[in-house]
Chains A and B, each alone.
Chain A
Amino acid sequence: DQQVKQNSPSLSVQEGRISILNCDYTNSMFDYFLWYKKYPAEGPTFLISISSIKDKNEDGRFTVFLNKSAKHLSLHIVPSQPGDSAVYFCAAIGGSQGNLIFGKGTKLSVKP
């Protein structure tokens, strides 16, 4: 009963192109979503978040889109850079105490 799903284990894109990472969720009560990036042997690093009352949030090369009716969000990275190669986790605020519910992650490879 995974509440946050990332159905693509991996994604490969060319440097300079757009990377689109997708995430689906099942609980309509989630009110905040976050994206984290993780390099090997390091902890997850916060990238960008979005409140459920918005449909878009942008920060530099990173934009997150939220479609509440479809229970779907996506992270767009434009332009993609080799340093963006990492595992990206989608997460939702899952409890009253703010604990995060994570997807399984998508490994992004950006090729020069």
Chain B
Amino acid sequence: DTGVSQNPRHKITKRGQNVTFRCDPISEHNRLYWYRQTLGQGPEFLTYFQNEAQLEKSRLLSDRFSAERPKGSFSTLEIQRTEQGDSAMYLCASSPRGGGSQPQHFGDGTRLSIL
């Protein structure tokens, strides 16, 4: 049982560039979540997929952010025209279904640094 895999682990880019992160959930987990964590804060919810359908988006997810999960397997999170405030750790999590009895399993995240 491999865990949640995220790539790349680190990304450094100049302000204004586009970046894309990938998340491979635990196989057969149909639920996938993206979170963002900044220094001194807990992870904050960004968006949720059930299979290939994006069912919920946080107000934190501005128009510059887009997420996809084609075929209900891996997911990508793209940030267009990056800004300094986008610097954060982006975490992906998956679970077989919602609710505390099936907790979310997190990947090790992608750390984004905007120069």
Q: Which residues of A contact B (CB under 8 A)?
A: 4, 31-34, 36, 41-46, 49-51, 89, 91, 93-105
Contacts and interface: CB of A to CB of B under 8 A. Distances in A.
A97 B56 CA distance: 7
B85 interface: no
Interface of B: 4, 6, 31, 33, 35, 40-45, 48, 50, 55-56, 58, 91, 93, 95, 97-101, 103-109
Contacts, number: 76
Given A46-B103, A89-B42, A104-B41, A97 B108 contact: no
Nearest to B6: A43
Nearest to A31: B100
A103 B42 CA distance: 5
Among B58, B98, B105, residue most surrounded by chain A Cβ atoms (within 10 Å): B98
A93 B91 contact: no
Contacts of B106: 36, 43-45
Given A41-B108, A43-B109, A33 B41 contact: no
Closest 10 CB pairs of A and B: A98-B98, A102-B42, A32-B100, A43-B106, A46-B103, A99-B45, A49-B100, A43-B108, A97-B48, A97-B56
Given A32-B101, A104-B41, 4 more contacts: A46-B103, A93-B99, A97-B31, A103-B42
Contacts of B56: 95-97, 99
25 contacts: A4-B42, A34-B103, A42-B108, A43-B4, A44-B91, A44-B106, A46-B104, A46-B105, A49-B100, A49-B103, A51-B101, A93-B99, A94-B45, A95-B56, A97-B31, A97-B48, A97-B50, A98-B104, A99-B48, A99-B56, A100-B35, A101-B45, A102-B42, A102-B44, A104-B40
A100 B4 contact: no
A51 B58 CA distance: 25
Given A41-B108, A46-B105, A91-B42, A51 B48 contact: no
B37 to A, nearest CB: 8
Contacts of B101: 32, 49, 51
